[in-house]
Amino acid sequence: MTVLITGVGAVAEEPRPDAGDVPWFDPAAHLGRRGWKYLTPATRYLLAAGNEALGRRHDDPPLAGAASERFGVVTGTQYAIDRVHRRMNATLTTEGVHGISPAEVPGFSMNTPGSQLAITTGARAFSVTLTNPVTAGLEAVQFAVTALRTGRADVVVAAAADQASEDHGGSGEYDAAAAVVLSARGRAPGTAGAGRPLAAVTGALSRFLAPGPAGGPDPAALAASAARIAALPRTAGAVGPRAARAVRLVVVAPPAATPLALAVRDAVTTALADTRSMVRDAAVHPARHCAVSGLLELIALARPDGGGPALLVSVSESGHLTAIRIDDAVGPEFT
Amino acid sequence: MTVVVTGLGAVSCFGSGTGALWEGLLRADRRPEPAPDLCGLPARPHLYAAPDTGAPGTGRTGALLATAVAEAVAEAGLTRRDLLDAGLAVGTSLGDIDLAERAGEPGPHPATHRVTALLAARFGVGGPGQTLSTACSAGAYAVAWGAELIGTGQADVVVACGGDAFSRVAVGTLQRFGLLDGECCRPFDTHRAGMVTGEGAAALVLESAESARRRGRTAHAVLAGHGWSCDAHHPMAPEPSGEQLRRSAARALAGLDGIPGAAVLHRAGVAVNDTVEATAIGEAVSAAGGSGGEVLGYAPKAVMGHTAGAAGVFGCVIAALVLRHGLVPPNAHVTDPDLECPLTVPLDGPVPLPRPSVLVSGTGFGGNNAVLTWRAAA
């Protein structure tokens, strides 16, 4: 089965030294004038990115009937409850329970952004929220690919949303949401989003690299994980000449995980060489958008003009690793 | 691919170990105690508190999870080498939320959802590792996701677990929404008035039948099927018709030959939710060719509280224990039985399991439904 990226959407805060207190995101521009007042910022970002990826307007009716039962949502987030929880905790210890507005109650649960996206779009196959720091966004893609392969849905929005724990990049992290629409080729007639797929996801995996005695990853575990990443399928179908093309390698990690990211980059490059694959532009990019970072990189790689084969690896300081392999969705099998 | 259970672990208000859990369920008399905090209420709310397990973890949920996982891994006889490529699927709603709720610690939110990394590092689990936070069905989804990892060849062995501990914010907000019972959790009593939170962690070692055979391990239970769905209706309330929950139950039942002997329900004492669930399960059983009255309904939350992200894993651990002992424990704290439930409800003592199969249902905020069916190992 081939998994295609048929739509993408993103909103992301970038460093703005002179912005003052001007908000970077205008909810009304994305979500209309009403209906979002009681939604948390991360939820608003997610709805904006999800709607864009699906090519729908905020006030389009949700999917219904059999199609909605074949449509799922999976959302990565690490800070969904951060601000709300801090505020509620302070309110409960000072004013008591009546200081909390019932309208803001859903904000205390990590799944609320994803659930709101499911309600808005009519996703009834499943709505799952993943919460590993940093890697949860790309894990959403791994989860979606797995669920498409096991037949739990025909179309899945893999998304991520976070509001950084401090404003204006104070913690070195910024707000963002991103979404990619993944479809099982041949099972999703009339899918919303791009008429032509942007890329094919050919493989996905998740690993954990426990710190070794010296602090860095255990060399044997690193080599084993790199070998698995290098062995991810190159194309969904037969291996043709395209498989010989050089693979772009991007490792995305927060600054504290840079040593691990460099080790992963080198190990994967070595492992690809062992499989006679050429690597091009091997790079480590900073993850500045919390759990959304990996998805933003994926969207940058999945270009409709043909970015070529690419391996994207997201790593966290605590040792989680998620790898996604994509290739161009062109050629006879995709037309 | 057949997925089996080869190890179980639990820590709950009954203490550490699945033995203590089973004994507590059979006694069916546990009541909650005052929570350690007012949670913004006039009087301390109730809590089915778990003991301090003393296991190293940065927060309380992580410590509870480590205790449950250690028991399951030991029972399954897994070595460090076996765990190098194993998967880890953790269901938790709020993670190590106690770290964020300590008084007098302003500033950025600490990393509450790092419990999976801590477990993976502690036990040396090197394969796929995810934290699932689908509210109160997180545990059911963690087990289901673990089965998907095995079914798609991403791991041969997966430690699926769930845990949650006391949270001031969870209790306060549930109270604000009128979802807490001020007396105790009594899901089968007509006077039920809401849930009562509980603490705990539960764990299952899932593996392919081939892996269990290769390792020479006995299977406790076999996963027969699992169905997922989302109501896409409301952030906190279930869709009243229960159509999506029924659909996930039907998919789970499709893996069974016939109807289950018992159903370990999500049922938490919230009347509307309880009714939607029992009706949906009853209808799915009818559609599978049986009648609800042939299935024994069981609601463990009466004696252990709502353990949030752990609840679905507890449901599966309890299903395995029910299959092992061939008994369904009695439902507790029922003065005036809810006659609307289409299932048969054991009240006075344990009842023999009529057929060697058990359904487990998990529902949560956002209308996140997951239903699993288990059968006895051959």
Those residues whose C-beta lies under 8 Å from the C-beta of residue A83, and which sit 6 or more positions away, are A40, A41, A163, A165, B109
> Which whole number is the average pLDDT over A174-203?
82
Query: Chain B interface, mutation test: which of A1, A126, A135, A321, most B Cβ atoms within 10 Å?
Result: A126
Judged against a pLDDT cut of 90, whether residue A234 lies above it is answered with no
CB contacts of A123 in chain B (<8 Å) are 230, 232
CB contacts of B172 in chain A (<8 Å) are 88, 92, 97, 100
Residue of higher predicted confidence among B107 and B123: B123
Long-range contacts, stretch B147-150, CB < 8 angstroms, 24+ apart = B147/B3, B147/B206, B147/B223, B147/B226, B148/A146, B148/A147, B148/A150, B149/A146, B149/B87, B149/B89, B150/B1, B150/B3, B150/B87, B150/B206, B150/B207, B150/B208
- One-letter amino acid at B117 equals A
Contact at CB, B232 and A122, closer than 8 angstroms: yes
What integer pLDDT is reported at residue B104 of this predicted model? Answer: 57
CA distances from B152 to A143, A182, A204 (A): 11, 18, 12
Which DSSP state fits A217? B
What integer pLDDT is reported at residue A239 of this predicted model? Answer: 46
Nearest to B232 among A89, A106, A123 (CB): A123
Residue listed under structure tokens 């914010």: B169
Nearest to A118 among B129, B135, B230 (CB): B230
What integer pLDDT is reported at residue A195 of this predicted model? Answer: 64
Which residues, in sequence order, are bridge partners of residue B5? B206, B221
Predicted TM-score (pTM) of the model is: 0.97
CB contacts of A126 in chain B (<8 Å) are 228-230, 368
Residue of B nearest to A149 (CA): B152
pLDDT, tens only, B291-333: 999 999 999 999 999 999 999 999 999 999 999 999 999 999 9
CB contacts of B155 in chain A (<8 Å) are none
> Is 3.30.70 the CATH classification of the domain at A199-334?
no
Nearest to A88 among B152, B172, B236 (CB): B172
Q: What is the rounded average pLDDT for all residues in chain B?
A: 95
Contact at CB, B113 and A93, closer than 8 angstroms: no
Which residues, in sequence order, are bridge partners of residue A71? A155
What integer pLDDT is reported at residue B378 of this predicted model? Answer: 80
Q: Map out the domains of chain A as residue ranges.
A: 3-184, 199-334
What integer pLDDT is reported at residue A189 of this predicted model? Answer: 56
> Which whole number is the average pLDDT over B274-288?
98
Residue of B nearest to A323 (CA): B128
Residue B328 structure tokens: 């369904």
- Give the torsion sign (CA, B360, B358, B23, B218): negative
Q: What is the rounded average pLDDT for all residues in chain A?
A: 91
Q: Categorize the per-residue pLDDT at A74 as very low, low, confident or very high, splitting at 50, 70 and 90.
A: very high
Judged against a pLDDT cut of 80, whether residue A117 lies above it is answered with yes
Query: Chain B interface, mutation test: which of A81, A145, A148, A173, most B Cβ atoms within 10 Å?
Result: A81
Contact at CB, B366 and A91, closer than 8 angstroms: no
CA–CA gap between residue A293 and residue A164 (Å, rounded)? 12
Residue of B nearest to A101 (CA): B176
Q: How far is B117 from chain A (nearest CA, A)?
A: 6
The ipTM of this complex is 0.97
Q: How far is B180 from chain A (nearest CA, A)?
A: 13
> Which whole number is the average pLDDT over A148-160?
97
Buried (b) or exposed (e) across B271-291, using 16+ Cβ within 10 A?
A: bebbbbbbbbbbbbbeebebe
pLDDT, tens only, A239-292: 445 555 799 999 999 999 999 999 999 999 999 999 988 999 999 999 999 999
Residue B226 structure tokens: 């699992």
Select from B318, B327, B304, B302 the least CA-distant residue to B361: B318
Question: Is A199-334 in the same CATH topology as A3-184?
Answer: yes
Those residues whose C-beta lies under 8 Å from the C-beta of residue A266, and which sit 6 or more positions away, are none
pLDDT, tens only, A25-50: 999 999 999 999 999 999 999 999 99
> Is 3.40.1160.10 the CATH classification of the domain at A3-184?
no
Contact at CB, A69 and B133, closer than 8 angstroms: no
Judged against a pLDDT cut of 50, whether residue A193 lies above it is answered with no
CA–CA gap between residue A78 and residue A94 (Å, rounded)? 27
Contact at CB, A92 and B168, closer than 8 angstroms: yes
Query: Would you call B372 helix, strand, or coil by DSSP?
Result: strand
In what helix (H) or strand (E) does residue B225 lie, and over which residues does it extend?
Answer: strand B221-230
